[in-house]
Amino acid sequence: MAETKELTLPSRIESVDQAAREAEQFAQSAGLDEEFRSAIDMAVRESVANAVKHGNKFDETKQVEIKFSQLPEGFEVVVRDFGPGFDVDDVPDPTNPDNLLKASGRGILFMRAFMDEVEWSNHTGGGLVVKMLKKQ
Amino acid sequence: MADITISERQAGDVTILDLNGKVTIGEGSVALRTTIRRLLGDGKNKILMNLGGVGYIDSSGIGELVSSFTAVNKEGGTLKLLNLTQKIQDLLAITKLLTVFDVFDSESDALASFE
């Protein structure tokens, strides 16, 4: 079994499904159970959607780089966009009563809910990187 | 094939929407938005959304449920949810939206609540 898989996808909505399909195949070949794969699926969809929408702002000349790795400590997903980046602390808490009826802003909450570790960093070559780990 | 199909039924003045498929970023969310706008345009503002056939929803889909809820409220109507899968129930719990939506397991109970 390959221990790492890397993808580079264009900044369009269809890339979300494609990344999720590739993650499912990779996670299945790693023998991960359905509940675990479902969490990975959610995290991949939300992070790639964020990269396409908020990072690259649907600019198809910008790519989304995705890496899945089966590590001794768990399953890691890394997603990089080529946008201007953002400070995760600036994203309003969607569970705050004042924000409950907002139409967006829940993707980060889902990534944190379904993965054990989620970290954002600015890539030295530009863009934002989110690294997520689901422990086994 | 479309990610989602939305069928409509009428029970008195309540419109029941049976959703089947995925409510996700892109097509699924847009289809739901279009349907709600059309119903409101037709003066149908009592809406029961049956999510029993929704196998997958993401944060964008949850956002669309919230947008539908606020759009219907703005028109003086009511939107309620029926037959949440365990997964959707979990997501609504994580987002604290179970405190916002009226949720039912029984269609007859849901319809009675509109009276």
Residue-wise pLDDT for B20-40, tens only, equals 999 988 887 889 999 999 999
Kindly tell me if the per-residue pLDDT of A2 is higher than 60: no
Kindly tell me if the per-residue pLDDT of B2 is higher than 80: no
Segment among A98-102, A108-112, A123-127, A132-136 with least mean pLDDT: A123-127
CB A129 within 8 A of CB A121: yes
So what's the pLDDT on residue B26?
82
User: What is the bridge-based pairing of β-strands A128-135 and A117-122?
Assistant: antiparallel
Q: Quick one: what percent of chain A has pLDDT higher than 70?
A: 99
Closest CA to B5 of B22, B26, B48, B57: B22
Name the β-bridge partners of A121: A129
Kindly tell me if the per-residue pLDDT of A121 is higher than 90: yes
Instruction: Let me know how long chain B is.
Output: 115
CA A33 to chain centre: 20
Q: How far apart are the first and last CA of chain B?
A: 38
Which residue among B67, B87, B95 places its CB closest to the CB of A106? B95
Closest CA in chain B for residue A108 = B59
A113 touches chain B (CB under 8 A): yes
CB B97 within 8 A of CB B62: yes
List, for residues A64-73, the tens digit of each pLDDT value. Answer: 999 999 999 9
Give the mean pLDDT of B72-92.
97
CA A23/CA A13 separation, integer angstroms: 16
A91 touches chain B (CB under 8 A): no
Kindly tell me if the per-residue pLDDT of A128 is higher than 60: yes
So what's the pLDDT on residue B39?
98
Q: Is B105 exposed, middle or buried (0-12, 13-18, 19+ CB in 10 A)?
A: exposed
**For helices B27-41 and B59-74, angle between their N-to-C axes, nearest 10 degrees:** 10
CA A116/CA A71 separation, integer angstroms: 14
CA B38/CA B31 separation, integer angstroms: 11
Q: Chain A partners of B99 at a C-beta cutoff of 8 Å?
A: 100
DSSP state of B97: G
Give the mean pLDDT of A114-132.
95
Which single residue is written with the structure tokens 């023998």? A31
User: What is the bridge-based pairing of β-strands A4-10 and A117-122?
Assistant: unpaired
Complex ipTM: 0.89
The more confidently predicted of residues B27 and A97 is A97
Closest CA in chain B for residue A13 = B26
A23 touches chain B (CB under 8 A): no
Averaged pLDDT of chain B = 95
List, for residues A16-27, the tens digit of each pLDDT value. Answer: 999 999 999 999
So what's the pLDDT on residue A89?
87
So what's the pLDDT on residue A48?
97
pTM over 0.90: yes
So what's the pLDDT on residue B1?
46
Give the mean pLDDT of B90-111.
97
Kindly tell me if the per-residue pLDDT of A28 is higher than 90: yes
